[in-house]
Amino acid sequence: MPLLSVSNLTTRFYTREGVTNAVENVNFSIDEGELLGIVGESGSGKSVACYSLLGLVPCPPGKIESGEALFDGKDLLKIGERALRDIRGNSISMIFQDPMTSLNPYMRIGDQLTEAYRQHKKSSKTEALSRAIASLEEVGIRDAEKRINAYPHEFSGGMRQRVMIAMALISEPRLLIADEPTTALDVTVQAQILELLKNLQEKRKLSIIFISHDLAVVSNIANRVLVMKQGEVVEQGEVAQIFNAPTHEYTKKLISAIPASGKPAEHKFASSSDKLLSVENLYTRFNLQSGSFFNRKNEKLTAVNNVSLDIYKGEILGLVGESGSGKSTLGRSIIRLIEADSGSVRLGDQNIRSLSPSDLRKARLQFQMIFQDPFASLNPRMTVFDALAEPLITHKLIDEKNLIQTINELLDDVGLERKYVRKYPHEFSGGQRQRIAIARALALRPKLIIADEPVSALDVTIQAQILELMLSLSKKHNLTMLFISHDLAVVRYICDRVMVMQSGCIVEQGETETLFNSPQEAYTQSLLAAIPQIPSATG
C-alpha cells in the first residue's frame, strides 16, 4: 500500500479576473522510501497540488473542489484543519524554495527548530533543544550547539537550506515535500543539498516529493517522475522511462529545451585587430565595517580583484561564477554603474573611467544592459511604445516621422507582434517582457550589450526561445555582448569565449568548447562536475 495516494485532486482559484484551474484531476501516489519528482514550468500547478494536500492553499481565493488524498488511512482533504495541524510538521514536513524568506528573520533558529517539536511531541524545552542540536548535526551544520542561537541572516544560503531541512526532519516525518529546494542555490551548493536529501531518504526510509522546474536535477535524484502542465499531469513513470523514452509531446519539448550542447552557430574567433573593449587591472572594493564601538574594524571587500579582459567586436563573452563571485559587480564597474577604485576601461579610443559626468551620459549610448528580472526593470506605468521611444527621443537619435517605423522594426526584430505596442508590461508574460527589454537595449544600436543573467528568471522552454533570439540578433546586427550567468549550460550554448570568476578574480578563460572539454583549474572542474546532467540513454 502506498504511503500517500492522491486521486482526482482539483483545486481552483476564484479571482476577479475569473476562475483558474490550478490543479485539474491529478492522480499520483508515493511509496515508503520513494523519491517522487514533480516537474513543470511556472504556473503548472505543481506546488499548488502539494499545498492543497496540507491545507496550505490560501482560501479564498483558492478552493479544493474535489479529490481524495489517503495518508495512513486518513483522507487529508476531509479531516479538517485541527487534525491536519497534527500531521503538518509532524508526519508530513515541508521545505521551500528560498530559505532566506522561508525562515522567520525575527527568531533565533533554535526557537524555530524546537517550536514544532514541542508542539507535536509535547516535550520539555531541554529535550527539544537537544533534539534540535542533533538534527542540525545530522544535516551537516558544525558547531550546532553554538549556532543554535544565531539568526537566519547569519547563515549562508546553503546553510540556511540545511537549517530548513533540519527543521522539517526534527519530528521524524514519514513524508517530506520539498518545493524547489535548490533553485535559489549555487550549483556546487545545490549538489551538496541534493546529496544530503538522497542520504536522508536512504538512511531514514524517508519518502520525498521533490518539486522542481529543473529536469536535470530531478533526473538525478528521483525514482519516479510526474510531469505537469497547466494543472494537469501529462505523463508519469519511472525516471529512466520519462527521460529516455518520453511519450508525451510536452515532455519531449521540455527535455529538448534544455541547452545541452555547444553553440549551434559558428564560433567567432578573435583576432587582435578588432578589439572593442579592453579592461586592465580593474579593482572594485566595498567597505565592510564590523566590531563593537570600541574595537572598530574597517575591512575592504575586494569584489573585483585585478581583472583584465578584452572583448572583441561581434563576440559573445560569457562570464560565469557563483553568487558573490563579483561577476555582476565587474559588469557594472565596466560601464560605471558602480565606480571602480583603479584600473582602466577603454571602449574604442575612449577611456570610460576618466570621462566627466556629462561625457559619460553621452557615452552611455554605446553600452546597454539587459537585466535578470524584466518586470522589475521595466517601468510599470510606461507602455511598450513609451519604453522604446524614450531613449531614442532623449538621445535625439530619431525624428518624429521615423519613430513609429523604427519601433515597429524593433518589435519585429525581437519577435513581438506590432499590435502590442500600446500595452503595459504587466500585460505580458515573462518571456515577452524580456523581449521588450532586449528591444529597448537594441534601440540605441549600442556597441556593447551587458546582459546580466538575462534568462535566469525564465522557464526552460521560454529560456530556449530567448537564447535563440539573442543568437539570431547577434548574428543579424553583429552584436558584441558580455553575457553574465551562473548557468553553465546556458553559457556553453550561447558564448564564443568564457571566463570563470571566483572571489573577484578571473581564474580561467578560454574558447567555450576548449574550456568545457578540458578545464585546467580545479575550481572550474568542480563547477562543471556539479552541473546535474540528464543521464543519456546509452550510459
Residue 87 or 388: the one with the smaller Cβ distance to another protein is 87
Whole-number Å distance between alpha carbons of 267 and 474: 12
Region 158-197 residues binding another protein, contact defined as CB under 8 A: 164, 167
What residue has cell string 557594472? Answer: 332
Least Å from the CB of residue 150 to another protein: 9
Residue 23 or 421: the one with the smaller Cβ distance to another protein is 23
Least Å from the CB of residue 197 to another protein: 17
Whole-number Å distance between alpha carbons of 127 and 174: 21
Least Å from the CB of residue 99 to another protein: 9
Environment class of 338 (CB within 10 Å of its CB; exposed 0-12, middle 13-18, buried 19+): middle
Residue 72 or 86: the one with the smaller Cβ distance to another protein is 86
The interface region with another protein, picked from 130-138, 149-157, 270-278, 500-508 by CB under 8 A, is 149-157
Whole-number Å distance between alpha carbons of 49 and 53: 7
Least Å from the CB of residue 51 to another protein: 8
Least Å from the CB of residue 117 to another protein: 9
Measure the CA dihedral 34/37/43/47, to 10°. 30
Residue 86 or 412: the one with the smaller Cβ distance to another protein is 86
Residue 118 or 440: the one with the smaller Cβ distance to another protein is 118
Residue 203 or 297: the one with the smaller Cβ distance to another protein is 297
Whole-number Å distance between alpha carbons of 451 and 367: 11
Annotate 379-398 with DSSP letters as a single string: -TTS-HHHHHHHHHHHTT-S
Region 425-484 residues binding another protein, contact defined as CB under 8 A: none
Region 59-118 residues binding another protein, contact defined as CB under 8 A: 84-90, 93-94, 96, 98, 101-107, 115-116
Residue 100 or 531: the one with the smaller Cβ distance to another protein is 100
Contact between 459 and 428 under an 8 Å Cβ cutoff? The reply is: no
3-state secondary structure 487-530: CHHHHHHHCCEEEEEECCEEEEEEEHHHHHHCCCCHHHHHHHHH
**Bridge partners of residue 236, in order along the sequence:** 226
Residue 116 or 334: the one with the smaller Cβ distance to another protein is 116
Least Å from the CB of residue 76 to another protein: 13
Least Å from the CB of residue 294 to another protein: 8
**Candidate residues 7, 33, 56, 145; the one interacting with another protein per rule CB under 8 A:** 56
Annotate 53-102 with DSSP letters as a single string: HTT-S-TTTEEEEEEEEEETTEETTTS-HHHHHHHBTTTEEEE-S-HHHH
Which distant-in-sequence residues (6+ apart) come within 8 Å of 173 by Cβ? 89, 90, 91, 92, 93, 206
Least Å from the CB of residue 265 to another protein: 40
Least Å from the CB of residue 164 to another protein: 8
Backbone angles phi, psi at 517, to 5 degrees: -80, -35
**Strand locations in 366-442 (E):** 367-370
Least Å from the CB of residue 102 to another protein: 4
Buried b (16+ CB within 10 A) or exposed e, 70-95: bbeeeebbebeeeebeebbbbbbbbb
Region 271-310 residues binding another protein, contact defined as CB under 8 A: 286-293, 296, 301
The interface region with another protein, picked from 123-131, 151-159, 239-247, 466-474 by CB under 8 A, is 151-159
Residue 88 or 213: the one with the smaller Cβ distance to another protein is 88
Least Å from the CB of residue 68 to another protein: 21
Residue 146 or 296: the one with the smaller Cβ distance to another protein is 296
Sketch the per residue contact string, 3 through 42, with another protein: x for CB under 8 A, - otherwise: ----------------------------------------
- The enclosing H or E element of 331 equals helix 327-334
What residue has cell string 539573442? Answer: 470
What residue has cell string 579592453? Answer: 278
The site that binds another protein (CB under 8 A) totals a number of residues, namely 39
Residue 167 or 270: the one with the smaller Cβ distance to another protein is 167
Whole-number Å distance between alpha carbons of 378 and 370: 11
Binding footprint of another protein on the chain (CB under 8 A): 54, 56, 84-90, 93-94, 96, 98, 101-107, 115-116, 119-120, 151, 153-154, 164, 167, 286-293, 296, 301
